[in-house]
Structure 1
Amino acid sequence: MNNVDVVVVGAGQAGLSAAYHLRRAGYEPGSGFVVLDHSPGPGGAWQFRWPSLTYGKVHGMYDLPGMRLTSDDADAERPSSEVVSAYFDRYEHTFGLRIVRPVHVTAVREGDGGRLVVETSAGSWSARALINATGTWDRPFWPRYPGQETFRGRQLHTAQYPGPEAFTGQRVIVVGGGTSGVQHLLEIAEVAAETTWVTRRPPVFREGRFDEIRGRAAVAMVEERVRRGLPPQSVVSVTGLPMTEAMLRAREKGVLDRLPMFDRITPTGVSWDDGRTVDADTILWATGFRAAIDHLAPLRLREPGGGIALEGTRAVRDPRIHLVGYGPSASTVGANRAGRAAVREIQALLDTVPAVV
């Protein structure tokens, strides 16, 4: 059993921010804290993004604390997966964070003496507190619809999106009203024989600058849901879709003409109860992700509403557990702030509770 004060699970933006602030607070990597990451290399979920998502298309990527992502490193034409992974790699080495990877955390349980036991694929860690920064990429959400298993074409999720070239000459249905769905739709429309956009609710487009006032209002709405113990909403569901020049052009061409959600899937496409049908070769589910927190289940942190209620980053049901990059801190700037806030609270907690090994 490896003993540390704090275990950080996940080495994306939120996890690296937490690790940075742990070091600044005097906790040493390896003895005071450890960062466990199941990915094969640096970059968090960014390393798995599709090649056509260049850095210039990324909305609102903020610097990690203590190190800028300079214009020399952030070539707008390079895939974001390369730019961000290289930046995270440099960050890990600059601050000597000593990430342990690839390690898969299977469960977090109550241990002896008020400590937590973090079970992993590479042994167990005993800790006084835990910062969970596992994000959502590992839990793609696949809605279920009647007839789904009969479809003779291809079905894939954003997590498997290979880029637009794979859809050349095809009839493609893109399901989902979020940013990723629109990005996929715009790319695929350039090469596909036909695209159809389907969403559960009419999309809301946001024109004008997303300023600080709008940002605070959006965060407050997400915070309120988390405070009530409900699963957090996506950012787009609160802020709306930014109307970019590319989207304006697509709207003029009819690419953004949206259909309501279909009622069933057929062997050759989809259909609605009013008799409308659309044939397709591929259905692309851009339907979002869920928080990857199943390993926390033994601690019974969930509320009746299905989510984990937080005060700031701290789990209401257990002050030793902090969630960063969850709910209101899911944005890159929010993740940075959440890492600092979590470390401050954990430090205050550990200073008042005697260590028991």
Structure 2
Amino acid sequence: MGLRYAWSSWRVLLLVFVAEFAFHGFTYGEKASNYNFIQEATSAPIVSFYDYIIIGGGTAGCLLAATLSRNATVLVLEREGSPYVNKTKIRIENTLSTLTDTSPDSFSEAFISEDGVVNIRPRVLGGGTVINAGFYSRAETFFLKQNGLDEALAKDSYEWVERKLVSKPVVLQWQSAVKDGLLEVGVLPYNGFTYDHIIGTKIGGSIFDENGNRHTAADLLEYADPNSIKVYLHAVVQKITFTTKVGLRPKAQGVIFYDAQGVRHMALLKNGSMSEIVSSAGAIGSPQLLLLSGIGPALQLEALGIKVVLNQAIVGQGMADNPLNGLIIPSPVPVELSLVTSVGITKFGYDIEFASGFDFSALSIAQSPANFNQILHALIILLIES
């Protein structure tokens, strides 16, 4: 038994971090949106047992769950709902309105960092792939080598993801002009259409298909064995429970979670040497859960009245925001709707990305001039976190 922390990011390219576990040539034909294993947590038994418990059904959680379910029983606990309940919200033309909608039942949740930075995080099965700009790129080769990952296995895993989610985008007038402009200012060479993350200008992949439908990490659950997996929605995990013995490191044994009606449930690991709890609740959610479970800086936990299970000084520390700059150019004539397609990858370590055709006046938050900064920041998030 054990506990692992899976770093989940909004960037689709980071699927490779957990994709090395992916199996290949194993698929089920039924669509994930119709799977009966995706249920409300109110239907969960009070006590249940699984080989793997995954906290967070985001980009990393869905992929890992689909893979592990081939040879083990898997439970996924997602704190909010499903993107399939309203598929119009995840169409390309609704991207900005979905991102900026932070009402209680929306897919986006606003927060402000301790530094005063306004930001948005996803709260939906599929995670950031439900609200981002949909740009797809593989990781750089040196990253794989630096982290000791098998390049051949990573390539197979990329293709496993790409078969379900990624399309070659249709490049129209605006994105063609972007490509030409990047080349003109010296973002060279031109690499054409490629999933590879290499210096120069390229046309990348998109998780929007040719009809404008978004494909999210939740679609990867189509790979799962429906007889071995359970996904509970609106399941809020309170804490991870541990067994402790003097002289031995604590071992994770289960989780306590609550459904939408406030009923308490417990999911426990089976007695297997490979049984694990995986926290993939995001860069904010996972450290928060560890702290609530008693893993973190002892002095901080004691001050909050939380029993210390393991004194771990780095939990919840070292968070940082990506530096970014955004520019919005109003057009006197209608411009085609497009998200990130043509991209400039510079040798200086930053990327140049563009979107077009969004109507800010259609957003409810645009009615007040005081909200302009919120709109601007939302669009920048959309581009940078793609």
Give TM-score, length-normalised by structure 2: 0.33
Give TM-score, length-normalised by structure 1: 0.35
Does 1 or 2 have the higher relative contact order (CA < 8 Å, sep 6+)?
A: 2
